[in-house]
Structure 1
């Protein structure tokens, strides 16, 4: 995996109000932590963060306050549910000689035969997998070819083949499968019964004895 450089600033003020002010100023609050050491509250320029996210890299080379360089990985990014903008980032310090556990996205390529020739629908059920490896061996994403899938066919975690990487997910998990097209049945028009005139029963004429 290629490294991406990112400049961050340490911050002394923490809390909701401080975080809101940072966001108004075009920055995203976050935290940097490394096992056995004190965590450092940080802030990142929003534009720089978006540029970093576009590169799909998990491994970062950060500079804190323009002087302190450290290796880290993105542990988590929280997004605003309405605007989808990042509102908080967690960075975890690493040693290049120590294995780490990360989530890696899955990318499907090719048009399945079951979609192209059988009218099926491709459904992707799993979009990330957990892996364990050395930081420099982290893939940017994992690519799987779905072009041979017929209707009823599926890709599983066991189909992922990577060197120097240990898969942590259940190998029987379905990543994607091709299902038959959904048939929408047209409602059958009911046969309306002919309206019947109500039968009028006349009242029997009352007979009086004279």
Structure 2
């Protein structure tokens, strides 16, 4: 059912200094919230958490908080801009069967017709789906599409039980004609040799 199983440790110290100590110990500070409960401050193993975030865009986390197992999805990840290390994660508590809205990346497959190119207008779309069945990405097959073709949100093929939240008439991908280099008027009218 769950993509990722992690063991969490409750945190009692807060603030920048405590967060730095947690990261030095090989753990990442996180907070679990939702369903009207008080936020639960925990730390997660850095390496396993990083791998889960890289492999699954919308991973369902099964988090064991000292014997109490909770289901959660990632709501926000704060990353240090230079070293690209995870600094903090916000996790939203979910229940089996509950529907949530998530941002799902669009992936292009195939090649359009010759002498055309594709322009991605939306890198991701919002989708409502069951928390236990969230899509990692949505594929858009552009194989053989001709110039002037537009793939709209309503044209996307979603997993069973998922519904598009993004407007159906939103442009996702546009196929346009490739234009060659423009010839100047001088080069086009070269005088004929005598």
* Number of residue equivalences: 184
Structure showing greater Rg: 1
Q: What is the aligned partner in structure 1 of residue 130 from structure 2?
A: 134
Instruction: Name stretches of at least 5 consecutive residues in structure 1 with no aligned partner.
Output: 190-210
SS of the aligned residue for 1:38 comes to strand
Q: Deviations over 1:75-115 (max 9, x none)?
A: 122222223332211111111132212122221111122xx
Distance 1:49 1:144, change over 3 A: same
Q: Which residue of 2 aligns with 1:170?
A: 167
Q: Distance in 2 between matches of 1:7 and 1:102?
A: 24
TM-score scaled to structure 1, two decimals? 0.77
More strand by share: 2
Answer yes or no: is 1:13 the counterpart of 2:10. no
- 1:143-195 deviations in Å (ceiling 9; x for gaps): 12111322332222111133311211111112122334465668999xxxxxx
**TM-score of the aligned structures, taking structure 2 as reference length:** 0.82
Structure 1 partner of 2:140: 144
Match of 1:59 in 2: 60
Structure 1 residues 80 and 121: CA distance shift in structure 2, 3 A: farther
Range 127-136 or range 165-174, more displaced: 127-136
Aligned mates of 2:43, 2:185 — CA distance in 1: 63
Provide Cα deviations, 1:24-61, integer angstroms capped at 9, x if missing partner.
33322111112211111111221111221233142111
- 1:161 corresponds, among 147, 157, 161, to 157
Contact 1:149/1:177, CA 8 A, preserved across alignment: no
| Cα pair distance change 1:19/1:142, threshold 3 Å | same
Structure 1 segments of 4 or more deviating over 3 A?
179-189
User: How far apart in 1 are the matches of 2:96 and 2:104?
Assistant: 18
Q: Contact 2:52/2:59 (CA < 8 Å) preserved in 1?
A: no
Match of 2:189 in 1: none
Distance 2:119 2:181 in 1: 19
SS in 2 for 1:103: strand
84 and 125 in structure 1: CA distance in 2 versus 1, 3 angstrom threshold: farther
In structure 2, stretches of 5+ residues that fail to align are 187-194
